[in-house]
Amino acid sequence: MLARDSQINGSVLYAIITVIYSILGETGKMVFEPIDLIIRVALVVATAFLFSIVFAAYMRIKSRKLLFISMGFGIFFTHGLITIPELFMNFMITEDMHLLIHLIALAFILFGTIKD
pTM > 0.75: yes or no: no
Q: Report pLDDT for 59.
A: 94
SS3 27: coil
Is residue 91 predicted with pLDDT exceeding 90?
A: no
pLDDT digits (tens, 9 = 90+) for 58-74: 999 999 999 999 999 99
* Largest interatomic CA distance in the chain: 81
pLDDT digits (tens, 9 = 90+) for 10-63: 566 566 656 555 555 555 555 567 888 888 899 999 999 999 999 999 999 999
SS3 94: coil
